[in-house]
Amino acid sequence: MKKALQYFYKYLKPYWKGISLVIILTLAMTYFQVVAPVYMGNTVTDLTNILKGHGSMTTFYHDLWLMIVFYGLNVLTMGLSWTITSVFNAHANNNMRKNLFTKLQKMTIKYFDTHQDGKLLSLFTSDIDNIFNAMNNAVFEIIAQSALFIGTIVMMLLINVKLALITMASTPLVVIISIVIMKKASFYLDRQQEEIGALNGYINEQINGQKVIITNGLQKDSVQGFTVQNDKVRKTMFKGQFYSGLLYPLMTGLSLLNLAIVISAGALLIMTGSMSTAKGLGLLVMFVQYSQQYFQPLMQLTSIYSMMQLGLTGAKRLKEVEDQPEEDRVPNGQILTAVKKGVSLNDVHFSYNEKKEILHGVSLDVKAGKYVALVGPTGSGKTTVMNLLNRFYDVNQGSVTFDGIDVRQLTLTSLRQNVGIVLQDSVLFTGTIAENIKYGKPNATDEEMIDAAKQAQIHDFIMTLPDQYETLIGADNEIFSTGQKQLLSIARTILTNPAFLILDEATSNVDTVTEEKIQKAMDNVIMGRTSFVIAHRLKTILNADRIVVLKNGQVLEEGSHQALLAQKGFYYDLYTSQMAFE
Amino acid sequence: MQILREHLFKYPTYILGAVISAVASIGTMLYQPKLLQDILNAILKNNMDAIKTLSVWLIFLAVIGVISGIYNVYFAAKIAQNVTSDLRLRTYQKIQSFSFGNIEHFSSGSLVVRLINDMNQITNLLMSVFMQFLRMPLMFIGAFIMGVYTLPRLWWLEILMIILVILVSIFTFQKMGRLFGQVQIFMDKINTRAKETLQGMRVVKSFNQEANNSANFNQTSDELNKINLWIGYIFSASFPAFMLATYAAIALAIYLVGGSITSHPSDVAAISSYVTYLSLVMNAIIVIGMTATMVSRGLVSLERIKEVLDTKPDLTYVTDQDEDLKGSVEFKHVSFTYPDSKQETLHDISFKVAPGQKIGIVGKTGSGKSTLAQLIARLYDPSSGEIDLGGKNIKEVSQKTVTKTVSFVLQRAILFSGTINENLRQGKKTASQAEIEKAAQIAQAEEFISKYPDTFEHEVEERSANFSGGQKQRLSLARGVVGNPVVLILDDSTSALDAKSEKLVQEGLAKHLKGTTTFIIAEKLVSVKDADQILVLDDGHLSACGTHAELLKTSPVYQEIYQTQKAKERRSDLS
């Protein structure tokens, strides 16, 4: 709650002028709204007086005129305050969204590796949206409705204490009923949500494994399992829907009942009291309006309750994201301009979480201009090494150095400018092919881009596309195969001309013939550059200056291809079991 | 709508209840102002008895209103609960009758969304139809009639107000509808950007593109903001406009009543109830406008569910006879095109396999290897040509026989939450524990299973998060070989295993599944080198077929693949 409020405070503070104005307008609006019924009642009194023979039309027109003025001002102030509110709400919300995006980009890779994309994405899709709805509908509604509630009570008490008390008599009961129902509703909705969650889990797992179900002929069992879960949902759903749907009609009904009591009691009061008929009629007309106005805040506040809850939870989540530590960019560090001597890992120990160390004292050395390959079984820690070289993660012990300088002393920008990475899963962005190749160097010329594409062996394919370099790449149009995506991301890296290159080979869905093409592209990039290749198949790295075999987080063997074969160790086994021999 | 009707009619009592209670609750709301008017008249006439009777009526009516309101929700919830559950079950059953082709047509992600999100929308639709949508037209018509009845002289005033309010709401809801459509488009853009950035965070960071990326995002966000501002303006103007129309009508009514009060003295008692009727009419129009958007959203979801229900499973079985088939497989001029594709994936393929043979299938990515394997298990039907399993046309065999005869181990190892035992038994429900253990042995899974204290009863968590990729593949493999299948298809299903385990699996298969016809799809030629036949696929054509030695001599495609995997050295150089 505190976090959520801090969050709102931060984003609403710049608009304090508008907010103050809205509060004043809202109070004015409420004033007009609670006073207007007095004049409506007065007109009825005036007319009754005329009928009884001692009234004048002038008074009637005067009161009618005042009623019109008050209702008019009510509408005007309402329109103004809503307009101002919607303007700063929209702007505040826009700032929240922009800040969230910028903030996310500043966070550590660890954060993204430990949080699911889907959950982070829901910050954009649902939380920001919930906050927007809550701010538009709930926040100022609370002010307006509270003001209306208090205003109505004050007016009623001023006009007629007895009738006012009668109108309010049922309030404690109404409040208790609504609290009980809201509690029940949230209890049963939670249970319903739990069961629906379980059902959704089941659906997700089964449908995503549908091919296994089909190939094993398990359809009937699957439906059986579904029916069990579905019936559980069916059972809990009734109460959830009933209690959550109950509040509004019940409040409407109670408002009706209260009105009936007010009318009856008021009528009896007038008949038995000393009041004139004319005054009595006017009074009753006023209280008919007030009794409805009195219930309106109670009804509104209960209906925006859930919206507010969602908004507050959203704000809390966003505040938590904003409080996350950011990547240390070492703004005052040394600036890396080139790799003159080489890159090394010195006795590096590393773990993603405290329980399990991944690298146990790894030392590696890539001399300037040399090509080093890293091989080893899955889970040996190969990709982890890449994460350390680019400072996606920091070592626990030991150091990673560029030309002898610890990476933690280099500015992050200069480090990453000098390190080019081709990742295992080629990530492309929505946009044209040209935009994607120029991604790392937006001001590159078309000649540079085409040159990079040629080196990456993808230019010829691009030229066969109808829009060539202007072809749009999107999430749903699959123009490129996995292998071609890898080639495109190689082109993207070539264009930035990095001093040090890290290449994490694609493993999935690339056949050995395509692999050969990728290898040619790789050879083009590697030539004359300090490079580090993480290989999954051995065929691609046979020309490496040095091959390092990593197993279980330790360097097991290293040397040239021939030397390693001669050792007849792990590399030898790997090689002979992967390759075909004549 | 047709679909909903079918399910709704299963619960006539609830529907009747919902309708009656809605009518009752609206009735009480509409009749109350009339009673108020009568009371005011009674006061004017000083009629105490009438006031007392009317008061009792007034309170009685309100109590009925409360009770019928509660019952209305009760019935609406009953309907929503049962109809959505029934519809969900029916949709799920339908999906379970789908073939691979049907599933791929929709994509499993989309099916999940339909079962979860769309069904949710339908619940909301039913709740709002039976609670709001049903009531509001009644309220609108009732309040209008009562208003005319209360002050018949001013019938035109009511119509004037209604026309004004409707004009404003048509303008508003149309504009809003369009703007909300645009909001959706920009929201999608924002989501795509956010999603791509999250997924490609390593790329963004390694190219130092955070600032550029933010600038792009901010631009989209600002455009969204512009639309949100417009929506804000329209909304801020429209609701006060509704109020203005109502207030104007009220003021005009009082003015007109006042002007002719001496000729119509009883009208003074009518003012209050007339005002209430005017507000009710306006409220009804606004609520109808608002629920209409929710209803239209629900209808879109309903359409998406209908699409699933209307889909015909594209595989049909002419018989349900259970047979024991031999493991021979024959393709006779088989061609195949995926339902949503224009290009042929397999072209005129013929080959013959004897029971117990080991067959390798090799070729580049996209050459049609997996497709061919899927045809053997009748996951698709060929577009032309015929496939014989155990000497019978596979189309004339029952579903049960096919799944019993052919065991297919998929590329992606998928396990379900439950125990290891439950997962392995999916391969053969009646399998004995000895059979299960033997399967685990063959798949090289027993080694790690035996390390768990609860061995085969060990829990498989959701998304099988407690197993490594290699372990999952071994379990999936074990499930495939439970109970000695007649035909076994391994679709690149040992890719996550290290070379040594893979070799042990191969040996296990050779030793324990001697009679089984085995198809192996592999990237590595090493895995299929000793097969009885190797099918070489090239762009959907069966380019060659033979043993490793034969193909090396005759098939250029095979030679090309071989070249990319050949060691630089001769085996003799190494030893």
Q: Say whether A230 and B92 touch across the interface (CB within 8 A).
A: yes
Nearest to A578 among B29, B258, B499 (CB): B499
Strands B418-419 vs B459-460: parallel, antiparallel or unpaired: antiparallel
A515 touching B (Cβ < 8 Å) = yes
Q: Say whether A112 and B201 touch across the interface (CB within 8 A).
A: yes
Residues A236 and A278 in one domain: yes
pLDDT (mean) for B355-372: 86
Residues A292 and A424 in one domain: no
Tokens standing for B212?
């550029």
Residues A54 and A180 in one domain: yes
pLDDT for res B572:
65
Tell me the CATH class for B316-409+487-494+521-567: alpha beta
Q: Say whether B191 and A125 touch across the interface (CB within 8 A).
A: yes
> In whole angstroms, what is the distance from residue A184 CA to residue A177 CA?
11
* Nearest-by-CA chain A residue for B95: A207
A74 touching B (Cβ < 8 Å) = yes
Q: Say whether B268 and A253 touch across the interface (CB within 8 A).
A: no
- CATH classification of the domain holding A39: 1.20.1560.10
> Which residue of B28, B115, B203 to mutate against A (max A Cβ within 10 Å)?
B203
pLDDT (mean) for B517-522: 89
Nearest to B426 among A44, A91, A218 (CB): A218
A53 touching B (Cβ < 8 Å) = no
Residues A304 and A353 in one domain: no
A379 touching B (Cβ < 8 Å) = yes
How far off is chain B from A490, nearest CA to CA, in Å?
A: 12
Q: Is residue A477 part of a domain?
A: yes
pLDDT (mean) for B404-431: 86
Distances (CA, A) of B514 to A366, B361, B409, B510, B518: 51, 19, 18, 6, 9
State which H helix or E strand residue A353 sits in: strand A342-353
pLDDT for res A77:
92
Chain B partners of A509 at a C-beta cutoff of 8 Å?
A: 365
| A457-465, long-range: CB < 8 A, 24+ apart | A457/A487, A457/A517, A457/A518, A457/A520, A457/A521, A457/A524, A458/A484, A458/A487, A458/A488, A458/A490, A458/A491, A458/A521, A462/A433, A465/A433
Chain B partners of A216 at a C-beta cutoff of 8 Å?
A: 403, 407, 426-427, 479
> In whole angstroms, what is the distance from residue B181 CA to residue B308 CA?
25
Coil, strand or helix: which one is B271?
helix
- Checking if the pLDDT of B30 tops 60, the result is yes
Residues B481-508, buried b or exposed e (16+ Cβ, 10 A)? Answer: bbbbbbbbbbbbbbbbbebebbbbbbeb
Q: Say whether A578 and B202 touch across the interface (CB within 8 A).
A: no
Hey, what amino acid is at A289? Q
- Which residues between 152 and 191 in chain A have a beta carbon less than 8 angstroms from any beta carbon of chain B? none
> In whole angstroms, what is the distance from residue A384 CA to residue A393 CA?
9
Q: According to CATH, where is 1.20.1560.10 located in chain B?
A: 2-310
Tokens standing for A484?
């071609």
Q: Which residue has the tokens 């709001």?
A: B132
pLDDT for res B519:
92
Which residues does B282 contact at the CB level (< 8 Å), separation at least 6? B161, B165, B242, B245, B246
pLDDT digit string (tens) for chain A, length 582 residues: 788 888 888 888 888 898 889 889 988 988 898 888 888 888 888 888 888 777 788 888 888 899 899 999 999 998 998 899 889 888 988 898 888 888 888 888 888 877 777 777 778 777 888 888 888 777 777 888 888 888 888 888 888 888 888 888 888 888 888 889 888 888 888 888 888 888 888 888 888 888 888 888 888 888 998 999 899 988 888 888 888 888 888 888 888 888 888 888 888 888 787 777 778 888 888 888 888 888 888 777 777 777 787 788 888 888 888 888 888 888 888 887 887 888 888 888 888 877 777 888 888 888 888 888 888 776 677 788 888 888 888 888 888 888 888 888 888 888 888 888 888 777 788 888 888 888 888 888 888 888 888 887 788 788 887 788 888 787 555 667 767 777 888 888 888 888 888 888 765 556 777 777 777 777 777 877 888 888 777 777 777 888 888 888 888 888 888 887 788 888 887 777 777 666
pLDDT (mean) for B495-518: 82
How far off is chain B from A461, nearest CA to CA, in Å?
A: 17
pLDDT for res A582:
63
Contact B330, B351 (CB under 8 A): yes
Q: Say whether A260 and B59 touch across the interface (CB within 8 A).
A: yes
Contact B443, B481 (CB under 8 A): yes
> Which residue of A513, A560, A571 to mutate against B (max B Cβ within 10 Å)?
A513
Closest Cα to residue B477, out of B458, B500, B499, B502?
B502
Chain B partners of A120 at a C-beta cutoff of 8 Å?
A: 194, 198
pLDDT for res B13:
92
- Which residues on neighbouring strands pair with residue A63, listed in sequence order? none
Q: Is residue A579 part of a domain?
A: no
Q: Say whether A439 and B69 touch across the interface (CB within 8 A).
A: no
ipTM of the complex: 0.82
Residues A537 and A552 in one domain: no
Tokens standing for B213?
């990326």
In tens, the pLDDT along B328-342 reads 999 999 999 887 777
Residues A71 and A134 in one domain: yes
Backbone angles phi, psi at B487, to 5 degrees: -125, 130
- Checking if the pLDDT of B460 tops 80, the result is yes
Tokens standing for A39?
């004049």
Coil, strand or helix: which one is A421?
strand
**Whole domain around residue A520: which residue ranges?**
411-542
How far off is chain A from B52, nearest CA to CA, in Å?
A: 8
pLDDT (mean) for B103-127: 81
Chain B partners of A219 at a C-beta cutoff of 8 Å?
A: 96-97
Residues A98 and A113 in one domain: yes
Closest Cα to residue A178, out of A265, A256, A295, A66?
A295
Coil, strand or helix: which one is B398?
coil
Tokens standing for B394?
């596979």
Distances (CA, A) of B540 to A510, B334, B368, B369, B388: 17, 11, 5, 8, 20
Residues A498 and A551 in one domain: no
A323 touching B (Cβ < 8 Å) = no
Nearest to A513 among B415, B525, B564 (CB): B564
Q: Say whether B414 and A208 touch across the interface (CB within 8 A).
A: yes
Q: According to CATH, where is 3.40.50.300 located in chain B?
A: 316-409+487-494+521-567
A354: buried, middle or exposed (CB in 10 Å: 19+, 13-18, 0-12)?
A: exposed
Q: Say whether A242 and B77 touch across the interface (CB within 8 A).
A: yes
Q: Say whether B205 and A416 touch across the interface (CB within 8 A).
A: yes
Residues A554 and A518 in one domain: no
Could you tell me where the DSSP H helices lie in A273-361? 277-303, 305-322
Chain A partners of B213 at a C-beta cutoff of 8 Å?
A: 105
According to DSSP, residue B342 is labeled S
> In whole angstroms, what is the distance from residue B232 CA to residue A257 CA?
36
A280 touching B (Cβ < 8 Å) = yes
Q: Is residue A581 part of a domain?
A: no
Contact B220, B192 (CB under 8 A): no
Q: Say whether A257 and B237 touch across the interface (CB within 8 A).
A: no
Q: CA dihedral in degrees (B246, B252, B256, B259; nearest 10)?
A: 140
Residues A354 and A500 in one domain: no
In tens, the pLDDT along B227-251 reads 989 988 888 888 888 888 888 888 8
CATH topology of domain B2-310: ABC transporter transmembrane region fold (1.20.1560)
How far off is chain B from A417, nearest CA to CA, in Å?
A: 7
Number of domains in chain A: 3
Residues A423 and A361 in one domain: no
Q: Is residue A432 part of a domain?
A: yes
> In whole angstroms, what is the distance from residue A315 CA to residue A127 CA?
7
Chain B partners of A326 at a C-beta cutoff of 8 Å?
A: none
According to DSSP, residue B463 is labeled G
Residues A302 and A442 in one domain: no
pLDDT for res A551:
82
Within a 10 A sphere around the Cβ of B141, how many other Cβ atoms?
14
Within a 10 A sphere around the Cβ of A143, how many other Cβ atoms?
17
Q: Say whether A579 and B567 touch across the interface (CB within 8 A).
A: yes
Q: Say whether B560 and A76 touch across the interface (CB within 8 A).
A: no
pLDDT for res B195:
81
Task: Tally helices (H) and strands (E) across chain A.
Answer: 22, 12
Mean predicted lDDT score pLDDT of chain B:
85
Question: Can you point out the beta strands (E) in B238-341?
Answer: 329-337
A93 touching B (Cβ < 8 Å) = yes
> In whole angstroms, what is the distance from residue A481 CA to residue A465 CA?
14
